[in-house]
Amino acid sequence: MVTTLTIEPLTATIGAEIAGVDLADELSDETIAAIRQALLDWKVIFFRDQHRLGRDEHVAFGRRFGQLEVHPLTPEGQDHPEVFVLPSGGERRAPGLWHSDVTWRPEPSMGSILRSVKLPPVGGDTLWADMHAAYDLLDDRVKTDIDGLIGLHDYTRVFGALQPPVVQEKMRTEHPTVEHPIVRTHPETRRKAIYVNAAFTCGIKGMDESEARPLLRRLERQAWLPDVQCRFRWQPGSVAFWDNRATQHCVSNDFLPSPRVMERVTVVGDRPF
């Protein structure tokens, strides 16, 4: 059976709430195709009242869009190793830097699907930025300057930041610094997007840090523009599905010290070009 989706955009270019579907059901191929098209159109899509979506259903839904990755920090022996648990609260902050997930992989993720597990009484919204629109707003001189440049992405920049150098080197051996184009072409829509982020991008290939750092900061700040953003207020049963090839996101830590727990599955992607 084909499900008819209701799509309510949050802004003119990014973000839409999708109604009329229960993600815990066995959805038809046509319904999955419609959800995928909504994702391409709006870059991040939201589903409310998905109370039947537990870990089993979360993983099953994610697999309809491709192979699921296992994050290196997922504890060994965890049921459903594809589920990456994101707890915060007390002094533990949620990811507050603008970023795209796992750009430190040679083949970063296609998309991420996040569901709320435990929410604070107030705050804890997530914001997304349309990096196609962010690129379009650059002036022509900057577009010319960055054409063909290669960014360096480092796993240890976030996950090894508090570790001693010897541990960082071991982590870097397991997950070497990777190279991706600073301007990425979306493999499906063919639109260009800025593909550097404050969390994982550590430099520009062949460029001194004194020159690379100001340019990276200039590009990272494009995600800060309200004109390219949408904001989502979580409720029990809420789910977000975003395109990591076209967006960046960050969390507002205005809920601390209250606890906030989210769970994510991430769809494997391909090598950026």
Q: Which two tokens stand for residue 249?
A: 């996101």
Give catalytic status of residue 41 as yes or no.
no
Q: Which two tokens stand for residue 211?
A: 């020159």
How many Å apart are CA 241 and CA 243, to the nearest integer? 7
Nearest to 262 by CA among 113, 157, 161, 52: 113
Q: Which of 58, 99, 180, 186 is catalytic?
A: 99
For the residues of 116-156, what is the DSSP string, one character each?
A: EEE--SS---EEEEEHHHHHHTS-HHHHHHHTT-EEEE-TH
Is 227:133 a contact under the CB 8 Å cutoff? yes
Q: How many residues does the chain have?
A: 273
Q: Which of 101, 130, 154, 243 is catalytic?
A: 101
Give catalytic status of residue 58 as yes or no.
no
Q: In which residue are the tokens 């589903």 written? A: 47
Q: Which of 105, 132, 180, 249 is catalytic?
A: 249
Output the CA angle 93-198-146, nearest 5 degrees: 165
How many Å apart are CA 264 and CA 273, to the nearest integer? 26
Give catalytic status of residue 99 as yes or no.
yes
Q: Which of 105, 157, 184, 264 is catalytic?
A: 264
How many Å apart are CA 160 and CA 258, to the nearest integer? 26
Contacts of 143 (CB under 8 A, 6+ apart): 135, 183
Task: Enumerate the active-site residues.
Answer: 99, 101, 249, 264
